Structure 1
């Protein structure tokens, strides 16, 4: 996307860049979105960690929507509260299952997203939970800012 085509969701450049990148994929997958972002321009969370986390969450949501027959909409909420970041993402899905294994044939090079999320959550002394029920997948991630950037 050119600078003129990019949307401004937040003053945080990393988050805004990831959202614009994933927005292109959502449009190609004919998936609607609802972003509600309330974070400061600067966070004490490494941009690469935030990018990997959001990238994986949104890639998984987009992939689930591509397989879903029905209304395709990804909802993303990111809030800054008490020196922490809360990320909540939800999307429709086809299955009620507790396993989050990749469906891609090339398992050697795919299927690392949830593990990456878990590592980042641990790095920032956070926690995360997910639920898949009645055709809706929901994941919530909490990260705590470090006093010094890692």
Structure 2
């Protein structure tokens, strides 16, 4: 399971790098509003999926993982915001931060459902939920970045 989660994390990092390079090449075509939407949505999706996968992989406490995910998400947002347009840095930062916090919370609930008052689960269902959420996150990442890249062509 750990190898699958690492491969999924690597795939999402490659998706993020590919979309960054594609958006960087065509950044002169963006209006200010479109640049803000792109920086917010791309940083939010990427940081959400990366923090979800990191919460499955890293054996850290919830507070440490949340702080780490917030910092990584904010950094991703700043990178995408600077790349697209300079005045969309703040929207990218907020999108990345919110994605990082949301991903760490979803990961914590998947690993321990009693946090939300749900009944506890056994290890086989935990394994299934972890794999399901990692596959779902990767699919969401692929679809959202495909839509962003497609919207440049239209």
> Is the radius of gyration larger for structure 1 or structure 2?
2
Higher relative contact order (CA 8 A, sep 6+): 2
- How high is the TM-score relative to the length of structure 2? 0.30
More helix by share: 2
